[in-house]
A = this chain, B = another copy of it.
């Protein structure tokens, strides 16, 4: 299935490669912290690049988008990492692994495009259509590389289905490429749709990134085909170290904001390693909170139910200094029946705060805005900002745990062989 140069096993090099990558990553993490501190006054005083922290009693200017500094250090370390790999490759004396270099270049290209898109978005506030075109286009090279890497578009069916359908594999063909393109677009926006409280964007990036890295390490030990997973691991380690440095400055109380730059960078990177590493389905398992949040948001995103401009939890500056659910209000008589149906279903599953009240002589209702952060607050009641971040990241970690369970335990119940 795989071209020989990709599947060729060369454990002797693996330790050197990952070792060099770890060293680069540690330096990158240190430099990120250093540069962020150097750039804070430049952002604030010289260039007036800052945002307001919405969830604090006093209004403070926080430098934004500091994600660009971490992303810049990340790119530098990856650009330094390519020659290391290159020299190890030409040292072996065997045929040069063009396909591996292709994968690496396509991956870095996608990530760089993601960073550029994010930074331009931070500076120019792009329209939605621009934000969809770029991830779509820059994942095209990934799909092409996937194609020339063996073009596996088959899915193994669960064993109970196999006798039923009469075949063990189902070939999705072009559909599989459309699915992967969607994974790319989804991942690019996945981090961005859960944002706005201190630490939550980088927190997500760290938890998902660390989960994928752990998965890669497990697979390197389990499987013979170690290139895909060591490639993914080497792309992720400098990301984790620079993200960690960024997180230490972005967590409550935030000294810097990460901006869309971080969100697109992290999302594009995760999507890229998932597609090129051939584990896009496992990646989606690690993104369950993001997938849930997306599905939960759909009624508001497509305006089936009313959607205010900001859906962030509301900071109670005059009261308990905690975050409360933010609400969407609407007149009941003017609501479509589709909206009423959706609201009924969500209430049935206990996923919606709903309250009716009188206003100007007519009947109105309020519902919480459909984001996972508001949903957490529905269950827990008002929380301090740092507690909400902890609660969400706790859920994210728990979901990663479940994903591993699914991937390695439940899979045995469904399939004879789990790779």
Contact = CB atoms under 8 A, between A and B. Distances in A.
Interface in A101-150: 101-102, 105-106, 108-109, 112-113, 115-116, 119-120, 123-125, 133-134, 137-138, 140-141, 144, 147-148
Contacts of A68: 120, 124
A137 B79 contact: yes
B140 A79 contact: yes
A125 B112 CA distance: 20
A148 B98 contact: yes
Contact of A113 (B39, B75, B137, B141): B75
A106 B46 CA distance: 35
Given A46-B125, A105-B102, A76 B148 contact: no
A374 to B, nearest CB: 29
B76 A120 contact: no
Contacts of A102: 98, 101-102, 105
Contacts of A140: 79, 82-83
A263 B105 CA distance: 24
A120 B39 CA distance: 12
A80 B102 CA distance: 18
Interface residues of A, number: 43
A140 B83 CA distance: 7
Contact of A123 (B76, B90, B106, B123): B123
B101 A144 contact: yes
Nearest to A148: B96
Contacts of A123: 47, 49, 119, 123
B105 A47 contact: no
A72 interface: yes
A124 B39 contact: yes
A47 B125 contact: yes
A99 interface: yes
A42 interface: yes
Given A68-B120, A105-B105, A125-B47, A79 B112 contact: no
Contacts of A47: 123-125
Nearest to A115: B116
Contacts of A82: 140-141, 144
Contacts of A124: 39, 42-43, 47, 49, 68
27 contacts: A39-B124, A42-B125, A46-B125, A49-B123, A49-B124, A75-B137, A76-B133, A79-B140, A80-B137, A82-B140, A86-B144, A96-B148, A98-B99, A98-B102, A98-B148, A101-B144, A102-B105, A105-B105, A105-B106, A105-B109, A105-B141, A108-B109, A109-B112, A112-B112, A112-B116, A119-B120, A119-B123
The 10 A-B pairs with the shortest beta carbon distances in the complex, nearest first, are A98-B98, A79-B137, A105-B105, A109-B109, A116-B116, A112-B112, A86-B144, A96-B148, A105-B106, A102-B102
